[in-house]
Chain A
Amino acid sequence: MSPQSMIEASPARQAGLRRFQKVNEILAYYQYDATNLIAILQKVQAEYTYLPQDILTYLATALKRSPSEIYGVATFYAQFSLEPKGKYEIRVCDGTACHVRRSIPVLQAIKRKLKLGAGEKTTPDLRFSLETVSCLGACGLAPVVVINNKVYPQQTPESIAKILDDINRREDEQ
């Protein structure tokens, strides 16, 4: 049975083909070269907001590596997430400069606002996800918060609450 006819054989496989089409494009761009694994994972995450398990396994087969090797790289780097992220990715900088200029109260204010408990990263409606990062290199503006790559300088618990309110209002209107 040819690969094409196997796919045509079942609707589940057809869905799978669609799901992996983007991954195949990414793999082709990087010439199925495992030394580009980090770049491949970055592109996959940009497409799906996270690294779904079935795609990691798929990558392993495509790159002729063991799934544990792919998983090992995916879990080593802080940038990669194995869980879905929110529509708005909030990153609170807790680098030294931000830390001494009180980044933790800002982080706590966001957690309160989003009602995220200890260890929770994403809101149930997938609108927001929250993480801390070690340094964004914008130390002159400490403390900073980044939401979907937009940098918000010199935040306070009050100012960040207002920014989140604005986002919520915009989203609710849509």
Chain B
Amino acid sequence: MISTTDALTEFKAQALAGQTATAVRVLVCAGTGCIANGAADVLTRFQALLGPDVVAFQHEAGTKVDHSGCHGFCERGPLVRVEGLNADILYTRVRIEDVPEIVERTIQGGEVVERLLYTGPGNGLRCRNEGEIPFYARQTRTTLANCGHINPDSIEDYIANDGYRALAIVLHHATPSQVCQAVLDSGLRGRGGGGFPTGRKWEFVRKAAGEKKYVIVNGDEGDPGAFMDRSLMEGDPHAVIEGMSIAAYAVGADEGIIYVRAEYPLAVSRLRTAIRQATEQGLLGQHILGSDFSFTVRIKEGAGAFVCGEETALIASVEGKRGMPRSKPPFPANSGLFGMPTLINNVETMGNVPLIIRRGPEWFAGLGTANSKGTKTFALTGEVINTGLIEVPMGTTLREVIFDIGGGVRNGKRFKAVQIGGPSGGCLNEQHLDLPLDYDALLKVGAMIGSGGLVVMNEDTCIVELARYFMHFTQNESCGKCTLCREGTRRLLQILEKIIAGLGTAEDLETLEELAAAVKDGSLCGLGKTAPNPVLSMLRFFGEELRAHVLEGCCPAKVCQAFKRYVIDREKCRGCSKCARACPVGAITGKVKEPFSIAAADCVRCGACLASCPFGAIEEVA
């Protein structure tokens, strides 16, 4: 039991002593990404080879095998860190077969297995650890500092890294109102997308009258292409719990709920473990660290509804109802869960809180831009070389993120667009690459930071098809409460489908614009208000491509099937009849050993002939 601040200090000293007693530490990444790539087997193999019986090491103190949360470099998983040798080593794409070699050569022999190091694309330089890998070296990891470096299932590891010290500081040295002020001074804004000043939200709840108050952490990370919150919950669950405990103290709540989406089973299990450990150590429960503050936390699992990311919908879902939003006011700060004052913050927002308290609001306010402070995590995915989870100061440009950290576009293709902020955001093009990533700069161009998904697209992506994809998503996820969101998104989708089928008219372009504005105005919650953004950003920045579909009858990215034509080059065709046999609709005819031809009217544009031709005589024209 850690019942006083002194006991916490003592616990930390012991945890640190335990760490230094180990000469070499093997840390296998056990994030969702690495596990999918086989990290669990790698971990088991290490444990089998380096179990307690193995003593044949040159080091006296022995070796410890641990698992960590997500490092962020998912593309290169499974990742294995070896700590305690001259310098830390990060091995990438480690297979189970590589484990004996790492044990023998690195852990026992102290040398580096060169072939498992990260190799820079282009220059072929091998990087020994994160400090040398451009993907990491150009980041500023503060919220994610522990992710990949500590065992998320170990409260000792968290406390050894100053964990729960921020909670001890506020409980004994600050009043709730001072805590709210500190968070306000730091300039922290909501990381879930809204960007509302966190300190102000806390102050509202603190001042709200109610016999009971709640703190809810929103872990319903619904944006497709985003996994920042998942990584934080999986990699550093105690930080989320500490952050929400500080919030609870500041607003006067005694009950907390972490709402995690159903698709994140690993995050749920890591949080459960963390809650159990914190409760066992008295860091959750009654009279925490000898103060009058009491706080308990439980987990609510979502069941798959994007709209539940919206705070009033989320509250309905926690109450066991359909997750439908309601009109505000009253705001959750005054009437939230079961009608009581409720503070709702996103996972990443909470993750920032212990840092702000420990390092001071000035430190946090020193990072970022004038109105967007601190750092922000982004999930960098799509057609980019280094996909993964990154953290940069607010105000970093898209170019730095995509090209310096992300390493540029995969397979030597050309950059075309980046989708930011998920289905609520927008697609930006090349001219926005030097745009700083902060709340206000993005709003000016009709996009938003959202939760932080960044999906990079190359020249092979059709923006019209992508807009259709997003409309399909929001149409599907609209809860149906507001007519314009329910019907409007459906009509927008139908128009886009019509355009993709090659049946668009000039009038459709006008209707798209008009309807998009109407859906924005006529919807109650964030989902509907932002649902037309992909369409609006397409009209604004990719109008030419859209018009090509409608007016010129072609898809410049050669994606939309309806615009494809297949022709046989009479010179190259040897008349082997393979294509005619491959064609499912019998649209290809001809005499053997003479050039064949495709009847355009019958062709269903499946492309089967293209794949079947051994002479490359069939050509696809857009």
Contact = CB atoms under 8 A, between A and B. Distances in A.
B594 to A, nearest CB: 33
A26 interface: no
A119 to B, nearest CB: 15
Interface stretch (A5-13, A15-23, A144-152): A144-152
A153 to B, nearest CB: 5
A78 interface: yes
Contacts of A29: none
Given A140-B33, A140-B74, A96 B422 contact: yes
Interface in A17-71: 34-39, 41-42
B381 A140 contact: yes
A152 B389 CA distance: 19
Nearest to A35: B320
Nearest to B337: A35
A14 interface: no
B306 A100 contact: no
B466 interface: yes
A137 B32 contact: yes
B76 to A, nearest CB: 9
B303 A135 contact: no
Interface in B374-396: 379, 381-383, 387-389
A99 B469 contact: yes
Interface in B214-228: 221-227
Contacts of A37: 320-321
A163 B322 CA distance: 37
A142 to B, nearest CB: 6
A62 to B, nearest CB: 14
Interface string B474-492: 0001010000000000000
Contacts of A134: 222, 224, 306, 473, 477
Contacts of B455: 96-97, 100, 139
A138 interface: yes
A134 B262 CA distance: 12
A33 to B, nearest CB: 8
Given A73-B320, A97-B381, A97-B455, A135 B222 contact: yes
A133 B225 CA distance: 12
A146 to B, nearest CB: 9
Contacts of A149: 265
A120 B301 CA distance: 28
Interface string B318-339: 1111111000000000000000
Nearest to B477: A134
Nearest to B318: A35
Contacts of A100: 382-383, 455, 457, 461, 466
B342 interface: no
A141 B78 CA distance: 11
B226 A137 contact: yes
A136 B225 CA distance: 9
A90 B380 CA distance: 26
A95 B225 contact: yes
Interface string A95-138: 11111110000000000000000000000000000000111111
Contacts of B317: 38
Contacts of B300: 38-39
B355 interface: no
Interface in B80-106: none
Given A100-B455, A152-B36, A135 B321 contact: no
Interface in B449-475: 453, 455, 457, 461, 466, 469-470, 473
A85 to B, nearest CB: 14
A14 B292 CA distance: 54
B225 A135 contact: yes
B419 interface: yes
B453 A78 contact: no
B569 interface: no
Nearest to B321: A73
B381 A151 contact: no
A72 interface: yes
B165 interface: no
Given A38-B301, A38-B317, A152-B36, A137 B264 contact: yes
Contact of A76 (B265, B323, B423, B466): B323
Contacts of B74: 138-141
A139 B263 contact: no
Contact of B263 (A94, A101, A136, A142): A136
29 contacts: A35-B319, A38-B303, A42-B262, A42-B303, A72-B322, A76-B479, A77-B303, A96-B382, A96-B423, A97-B225, A97-B381, A97-B455, A99-B224, A99-B466, A100-B455, A100-B466, A134-B222, A137-B264, A139-B74, A139-B381, A139-B455, A140-B75, A140-B227, A140-B387, A140-B389, A141-B37, A141-B74, A151-B32, A152-B36
Given A39-B301, A76-B322, 7 more contacts: A78-B303, A96-B419, A97-B387, A139-B226, A139-B387, A151-B32, A153-B33
Closest 7 CB pairs between A and B?
A: A140-B74, A95-B224, A78-B304, A151-B36, A77-B303, A137-B227, A97-B381
